[in-house]
Structures are given as structure tokens and as C-alpha cells.
Structure 1
């Protein structure tokens, strides 16, 4: 016995609606954003007591989504990130409309509802290049 065509169409439609409800809004990903770090701390130990966090100068950067990649433009340099929807697990409080992006040693999580971000730089070859920052974005 096969599935009647009407039921198969309804199941396909329900699946498409579910996928759209958990995927970040396409319009939110297409518009350019300008982001500013509110706080940026590194673990570099030069001149700091062991375990102390050295504050860094906050930076501003732009985000542009194009061709399936997120471009981060900062200080005249463009870096390209691969992104996907952030899927919360049962015990996590991940934002429901967020994307997570990765580029080499950089990781970026952007809440598309509140336009907040968290960025981490994790370089196993140089512990002086370990940092975490967070801040806000606004549409252009």
C-alpha cells in the first residue's frame, strides 16, 4: 500500500513549514550589519598576572551575507565564514533565531532577534591569540 497523494502533500508542506520556522529569516541574513564589540578580553599573559584577563580595544566590523558565506569586514580586511542555523539542544538556552559561523580559528554566534553576537578566537598554536568578545549589531 502506498501513501495517498493528498496525505503525502500535506506531510511535505508541514515539513517545509517546520524547516522555515527554525531557519533564520532570509531577510535578516541578506541585509548588511555593522557590529561593535562591547567587551573584548584575551588570555595573553605578557605583563599580566597569571590567569588575569587583558582587556582589548573594542573594534567595529561589518557583516554581509552573500552566496552562502558571511563576510566579516574589519580594518580593510575581509574574512569569509561558513554559517548554519544554531540548533539548541534540550538542555541549552541557545537563541531560537541564531546562526553560528566558523572560519579557521574564529567562531561567531549571532542572535538575529536581538542582533547580539559573541565571538571567540581559539588558536591552539599560539595561546596569546585566545580571546572572547561580545557586542551588538545594527542594520545599515
Structure 2
């Protein structure tokens, strides 16, 4: 089995901002339940990632994507503490943070969406590309 590790090169700038998070959601996937995933990078290196089922039923793809952002606004609170009602209340918190310019949302093309690997089945080639985008290499 091949060893996989992170390729840390401080001279390579492969990030948009010092701290960035990629979020993706799948509305009503294989089991008719929405799932989400995210990967957070600090200076281009992954420091946090997760793939989970959503606690609430999403009414649309947009709703599923918006609910996927909620747990990220909760750091350092643990993600296990967020229940359905908390998700609903936190959506207002996110709107407030966006309004006050403390956070920003940016659309990312699918080819650059690092969180895709957590919500969609990937073939061997796409999986290899996703691993490289995360900065992981075989060694």
C-alpha cells in the first residue's frame, strides 16, 4: 500500500486567502438525505475536513449548501453539539456575519471545488486529482 503525505512547500502559493474553506452539499443523495463536506486550508495546507449527513431535511440544493456552512461558523464549538434547531438559528448568524463583512462567500468552479470528494462518488482519475488538489502526494 502506498504511503500518502502532505507536500509542504512554503514557496508555492496555491491558495486564494490564508484561511479558506471549501464547502459542498448533496441534496437528497443516494439515501434521500442531504450530505455535506468541507475542507479547510491554512496557507494551502488542509487542517480540517469532514463528511457528514445533514441534521435537517433541506428543501433545495441551495438550502443544503447554506446549511453546510452552519457548522463552519461554529468553530471552536464542536460539531456534535449542533442539532436541527441549532442549524435553523445559526443560519441567521451566518447572514449577519455576511452582512457585517466578517465572512465572504465565493462561488468556485467544480474543477476547483475541493469538497466535492466528500459528497460525490469519484472515479480513480478524479480521486487522484482531488488528492493532488489537497496537496497530498504518494511517497
**TM range, normalised to the smaller chain?**
under 0.3
User: Higher Cα Rg: structure 1 or 2?
Assistant: 1
Larger relative contact order, structure 1 or 2 (CA cutoff 8 Å, min sep 6): 2
TM-score between both structures, scaled by the size of structure 2: 0.25
Q: Which has a greater percent of strand?
A: 1
Q: Which has a greater percent of helix?
A: 2
TM-score between both structures, scaled by the size of structure 1: 0.25
